[in-house]
Amino acid sequence: MPENLADLILALAILAPLVGGLASTVRMARSGRASMISTAVALVAAAPLAAWAQGNADGAKQKTSMCIGCHGIPEYKASFPSVYRVPKIAGQSAKYIENALNAYKKGERSHPTMRGIAGSLTDQDIADLAAYYGTK
């Protein structure tokens, strides 16, 4: 077990979104199953991912046209595949928007229009749109 457990837990907390959740990561660190070597390897491996996944709100300005037709109209109701109130996305957390778009892209969420739109987005597009709407 490392001498400075607090530093290890902090490092693992930073990595938690990339390695599967804070609670399980902290339990792993406390149980002694995480070594300083595995933590260092994870930090080195995650560094390029963290830099690459940064969203740019200004970069999304040219990408919002596919969103505003539904999400930019207050109290808008769509009729496909059934009648429902379209959620407001401006002001949602960037992480929520990113997770939702990725879930549509992977087929984990089933709305056909959103699956089609999200499927056409790159990871950078998703990060940029999340940053843009997360600041509104």
Contacts of 117 (CB under 8 A, 6+ apart): 66, 104
Looking at domain 58-134, what is its CATH homologous superfamily?
Answer: Cytochrome c-like domain (1.10.760.10)
Q: What does the radius of gyration of the chain's CA atoms come to, in whole angstroms?
A: 19
Helix (H) or strand (E) holding 31: helix 22-31
Question: Where are the chain's structural domains?
Answer: 5-52, 58-134
pLDDT at 33: 54
The predicted model scores a pTM of 0.60
Contact 37, 57 (CB under 8 A): no
Kindly give the confidence (pLDDT) of every residue in the chain, 136 residues in length, as a single tens digit, with 9 standing for 90 and above. 444 555 555 555 554 554 444 454 445 555 555 554 554 444 444 444 444 458 999 999 999 999 999 999 999 999 888 999 999 999 999 999 999 999 999 999 999 999 999 999 999 999 999 999 998 8
